[in-house]
């Protein structure tokens, strides 16, 4: 069984789907690991490190592979190079990547989307959305610390005491909780809000203060939030406004995979922030939680600097790749019969396999995607 590791080509993408330290686990399963030269360069993994770990460098890896591993969905041109009957594991946001899905279907490639892995406890080690959100949340806190022209911790010196910075985090999923934890480590006073019922307890468990707006919770499927009505959104903005106005740092992380991020903070709310305030919105690529944010840029709104995340996980490409590769390895292992010559044999009766499969045998097998695209 030949496994190919591709060199990512999308601008801004610095991760790689497999890291040298895990190559040994693939070869132990009975896989031959083929790596496109330079695949790990942007994540500080050298070709030499892959070879030392037992991989083979091969510019033609994709053409030979039984299974292709990638972070981003491959270009349709790359898909067409794959053997009919081969498989792909990568992120594959089906609504946004219809052209790739069609190419996979037409090339007879069996594809598995990491973001469709069911959120059940057996699949936790395969949960790449969570592992990457963890990276993004940490990074959001570090970026905010760097932009802020004040101390985060309370600072006591012979020349007097400087109070700690006030941080507000909106969205307390994996990313938000990691942002909260990092800001707490740095000594800031952190308040956080999330529409889900369980969030307050998790926020408090990190030592931060849950913001209670007195609104009904909005729990949705698989631990994510439900979409909210326009009336709820307006009321929520109104109630959040004083918290935002009082914050030195606002970090927003509210995103639901595949959907537009909710606008939690209006331009007027940012305009009410103090001089020198910092806003970090890691949902910017999904439309943003903050009105006026632009992904990959710092814009000035009122007296605040507003940082819009773009490819945030690629800012920490080595650990993001390590965690993603571990997710991929875990999924791959569950689909492989190990042996002297391993066989890729996904069991479509398995809830995880069935849940994340997008195409198979020339057909789209993920029902919502089939409804969207056909066939």
Residues binding its own copies (CB under 8 A): 44, 46, 124-125, 127-128, 130-131, 134-135, 138, 142-143, 145-146, 149-151, 153, 155, 157-160, 162, 182, 185-187, 275-276, 315-319, 322-324, 326-327, 330
C-alpha distances (whole Å) from 263 to each of 190, 278, 288 are 21, 17, 6
Which helix (H) or strand (E) covers residue 359, if one does? strand 357-360
Structure tokens belonging to residue 221: 């499927």
The answer for residues whose C-beta is within 8 angstroms of residue 111's C-beta and 6 or more apart is 87, 88, 89, 90, 92, 101, 104, 357, 358, 359, 360
**Dist CA 320 CA 308 (whole Å):** 19
**Dist CA 104 CA 364 (whole Å):** 9
Taking the complex as a whole, the smallest distance from the CB of residue 274 to its own copies amounts, in Å, to 8
Give the DSSP per-residue string, 24-56: HHHHHHTPEEEE-TTTTGGGT--HHHHHHTT-E
Nearer residue to its own copies within complex by CB, 142 or 209 = 142
Nearer residue to its own copies within complex by CB, 266 or 314 = 314
Nearer residue to its own copies within complex by CB, 310 or 318 = 318
**Dist CA 367 CA 375 (whole Å):** 10
| CA 97 to centroid of chain Cα atoms | 16
Taking the complex as a whole, the smallest distance from the CB of residue 240 to its own copies amounts, in Å, to 24
Taking the complex as a whole, the smallest distance from the CB of residue 165 to its own copies amounts, in Å, to 10
Nearer residue to its own copies within complex by CB, 316 or 364 = 316
Taking the complex as a whole, the smallest distance from the CB of residue 159 to its own copies amounts, in Å, to 4
Active-site positions read 119, 124, 127, 130, 224
């Amino acid at each position: 069984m030949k496994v190919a590791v591709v060199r990512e080509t999308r601008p801004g993408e610095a991760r790689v789907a497999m890291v040298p330290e895990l190559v040994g686990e693939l070869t132990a399963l009975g896989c031959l690991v083929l790596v496109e030269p330079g695949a790990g360069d942007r994540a500080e993994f050298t070709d030499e490190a892959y070879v030392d770990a037992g991989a083979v460098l091969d510019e033609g890896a994709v053409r030979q592979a039984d299974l292709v591993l990638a972070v981003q969905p491959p270009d349709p041109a790359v898909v067409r190079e794959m053997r009919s009957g081969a498989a792909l594991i990568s992120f594959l946001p089906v609504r946004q990547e219809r052209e790739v899905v069609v190419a996979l279907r037409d090339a007879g490639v069996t594809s598995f989307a990491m973001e469709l892995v069911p959120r059940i406890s057996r699949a936790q080690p395969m949960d790449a959305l969570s592992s990457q959100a963890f990276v993004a949340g940490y990074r959001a806190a570090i970026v905010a610390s760097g932009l802020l022209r004040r101390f985060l911790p309370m600072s006591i010196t012979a020349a007097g005491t400087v109070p700690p910075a006030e941080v507000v985090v909106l969205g307390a999923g994996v990313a938000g909780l990691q942002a909260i934890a990092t800001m707490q480590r740095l000594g800031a006073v952190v308040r956080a809000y999330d529409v889900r019922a369980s969030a307050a307890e998790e926020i408090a468990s990190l030592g931060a203060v849950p913001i209670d707006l007195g609104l009904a919770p909005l729990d949705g499927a698989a631990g994510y939030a439900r979409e909210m009505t326009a009336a709820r959104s307006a009321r929520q903005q109104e109630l959040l406004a004083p918290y935002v106005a009082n914050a030195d740092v606002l970090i927003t992380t509210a995103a639901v995979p595949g959907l537009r991020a909710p606008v939690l903070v209006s331009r007027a709310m940012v305009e009410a922030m103090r001089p020198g305030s910092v806003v970090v919105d890691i949902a910017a690529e999904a439309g943003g939680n903050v009105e006026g944010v632009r992904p990959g840029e710092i814009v000035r709104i009122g007296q605040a600097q507003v940082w819009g995340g773009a490819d945030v996980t690629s800012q920490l490409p080595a650990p993001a790749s390590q965690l993603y590769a571990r997710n991929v390895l875990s999924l791959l292992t569950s689909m492989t019969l190990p042996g002297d010559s391993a066989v890729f044999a996904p069991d479509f009766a398995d809830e995880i396999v069935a849940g994340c499969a997008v195409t198979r045998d020339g057909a789209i097998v993920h029902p919502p995607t089939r409804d969207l695209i056909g066939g």
